[in-house]
């Protein structure tokens, strides 16, 4: 395990693809589909991270549904300091909280847009970025 200057372990920086509750989400991202759990009982979207029982009514039955990929920026920030070697040459970069149209929120990046041009309330839509081992949903401004 690599350590930072204060002796703390470097952050992992990657999703846990094999986490049982989240496995279908990451598999769908690989096919460029944004999905979420919908409760079979109260019909509400679970939100993220995925979990075994409905956070609203505790029902255990749910289905994975494909979302529209539309959302709105709830808040946005720009990292000017890197906490991970992979981001050393990417600063400054945007990180946003995107509220999805159907419910649920993701920590994500708004791309195709300079960090200073990302605004709270901005409508965005999903795009997918493929890495060798996984695919991340990101968002771009709706044209």
* Interface residues toward another protein, by CB under 8 A: 6-9, 11-16, 19, 47-49, 55, 74-81, 83-84, 87, 90, 92-93, 95, 97, 104-109, 115, 120-121, 134, 136, 138
Cβ at position 9, least distance to another protein in Å = 5
Pick the closer one to another protein by CB: 88 or 143.
Answer: 88
Instruction: Give me the residues paired with residue 95 across strands.
Output: 77
Cβ at position 38, least distance to another protein in Å = 17
Q: Could you please report the per-residue DSSP string of 79-133? A: E-S-SSGGGTTT-SEEEEEEEETTS-EEEE-B-SS-GGG--TT-EEEEEEEE-SS
Q: Rounded to 10 degrees, what is the CA torsion of 15, 17, 21, 25?
A: 80
Cβ at position 121, least distance to another protein in Å = 8
């Amino acid at each position: 395990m690599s350590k930072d200057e204060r002796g703390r372990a470097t952050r992992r920086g990657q999703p846990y693809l094999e986490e049982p509750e989240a496995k279908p989400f990451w598999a769908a991202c690989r096919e460029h589909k944004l999905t979420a759990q919908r409760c079979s009982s109260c019909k509400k979207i679970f939100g993220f991270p995925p979990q075994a029982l409905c956070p609203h009514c505790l029902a255990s039955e749910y289905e994975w549904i494909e979302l529209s990929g539309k959302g709105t920026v709830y808040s946005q920030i720009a990292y000017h300091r890197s906490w991970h070697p992979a981001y050393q040459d990417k600063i400054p970069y945007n990180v946003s909280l995107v509220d999805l149209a159907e419910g649920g929120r993701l920590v994500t990046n708004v791309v195709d847009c300079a960090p200073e041009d990302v605004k709270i309330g901005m409508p965005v839509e999903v795009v997918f970025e493929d890495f060798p081992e996984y695919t991340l949903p990101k968002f771009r401004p709706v044209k």
